[in-house]
Amino acid sequence: MKVVATGVFDIIHLGHAHFLNAAKEHGDELVVIVANDDTVRRMKGEPVLSDEMRAEMVSHLKPVDHAVIGRTGNMLDIIVEEIRPNIIALGYDQRLFSTAELESKLLERGLDVKVVRLHEMEQDLAGSRKIISKIMKIYREKYGSE
């Protein structure tokens, strides 16, 4: 069973590790689509690392079998045309589609794919923005406004 997971993966943290491990539990091959730089800029702001660097880093993580950079435009194109997964694993905070909505959109494109939503991790630094905020706070406290 081929599983797809998607994300930005700008600063790899424990939340990513739990997400990818949980996704891999749904199949025997995990393909991760790393958001391209244009998508990240449009949805979250300027990425810290380039899409090439993020994809390479993700490809080295233990549960990941393949990492690819997403296309600009319709994210479903790469899923339908190239990967053809059996399962798509969504993180608890990935809210672009509901599971039923995504299954329906994929069925319209000829893919009968199960979509699962993974559970939230109980950890206060399970997000890149939270980590960046903590780094900035520590820096400001130590160095002021240098």
- Contacts for 17 with CB less than 8 Å, ≥ 6 apart: 61
pLDDT in tens, 110-137: 888 999 998 876 665 567 778 888 888 9
Domain at 2-121, CATH homologous superfamily: HUPs (3.40.50.620)
- Closest CA relative to residue 22, chosen from 77, 94, 83: 94
User: Full-prediction pTM beyond 0.75?
Assistant: yes
Q: For residue 15, is pLDDT > 90?
A: no
